[in-house]
Amino acid sequence: MAGTSEKAHTELKKSDFYFELPQELIAQDPLEDRASSRLLMLDKHTGAMSHHVFGEVAEFLRPGDCLVLNNTKVIPARLLGEREGTGARVEVLLLKRRGDDIWETLVKPGKKCRPGTRLSFGNGTLKAEVLDTVEEGNRLIRFAYEGIFEEVLDRLGEMPLPPYITHKLQDKNRYQTVYARYEGSAAAPTAGLHFTRELLEKIASSGVRIAYVTLHVGLGTFRPVKEENVLDHHMHSEYYIVPEETAEVVNRTKAEGGRIVCVGTTSCRTVESASDQRGILQAGSGNTEIFIYPGYRFKVLDGLITNFHLPESTLVMLVCALAGRENVLEAYGEAIKERYRFFSFGDAMFII
């Protein structure tokens, strides 16, 4: 199921979503305690702000609310190997499974990896052949190995950290939410990284319902908006699943007057893609290319817990759609002034 924003304007400029971000505020490492990151509360109606610690998030949720989490699991999708015959180094990033042992990938350097090129990883533990070049220069690759692919990948692969993180991750699990369950993402739903099991138990025991969706995050998340007219940007397709139980809980919460709070832009995009025009969430699975920007009318979501995003990104546009561009840019200015940490391993904001 795909969707676009409902927008009256004919043009929305990329530069409208620009802000100056000091390089040193880009978090390079996760904090030791997930819930000790900072939390900026933002009132989407008034623009009022307050500063907190993430562990206090439970205080801003009410009994009868529903917290929606994305339980996708990041695979160690970055493989470092060599081209057979030349020994030249090659990097392969797994994007999407296309069939038995066939993956759509991003290859560097791509020019040298034409169809027919053979690759080797881990001294031949994993071998591969480039089959075809597809959309945007991605390569279809068939892998050959002994045993179970996921186990081989776990041994040889690295977590595909975003390009703005230059430090090596010491513990793979820190780029994984504590509730990650279904493998398939090339990037983490990072707003969820702040939750601990204890914090989730505290929230549930306070009368807040917790529901799960799955959206496998693709590299389109990091794809920059190149067109100055935002409406010309094309979103990559991502696969999602909404279980029956989740649809029932979300719809019951709405009917009883509770609020739907999504953790992360991926959970938000899932529930907005999978709901009908009346705001009734439908169980099922599909692919979404939904692009949410100012002018969009939210059908399901009431509140959003999210990290601080890149200037001019589709993610900051989604946040502006919820809380208003002026409110969001003012909140980002406040976060910069207060030295909040930005992006994947950074601090969080709660818009309600």
Residue 202: its pLDDT value, please?
98
Q: Mean of the pLDDT values across residues 201-210?
A: 98
Report whether 352 contacts 259 (CB < 8 A). yes
Residue 5: its pLDDT value, please?
46
Residue 10: its pLDDT value, please?
57
Q: Give the C-alpha separation, 161 to 155, whole Å.
A: 17
Strand order, beta sheet including 49-53: 49-53, 38-42, 348-351, 303-307, 260-263, 66-70, 209-215, 238-242, 284-288
Residue 135: its pLDDT value, please?
82
Q: What are the DSSP E strand ranges found in 247-316?
A: 260-263, 284-288, 303-307
Residue 196: its pLDDT value, please?
98
Q: Give the C-alpha separation, 170 to 294, whole Å.
A: 38
Output the six-digit token pair for 2: 């795909």
Which band of pLDDT confidence, cut at 50, 70 and 90, is reported for residue 7?
very low
Residue 221: its pLDDT value, please?
65
Q: 113-134: per-residue pLDDT in tens?
A: 999 999 999 999 999 999 999 9
Buried b (16+ CB within 10 A) or exposed e, 243-280: beebbebbbebbeeebbbbbbbbbbbbbbbbbbeeebe
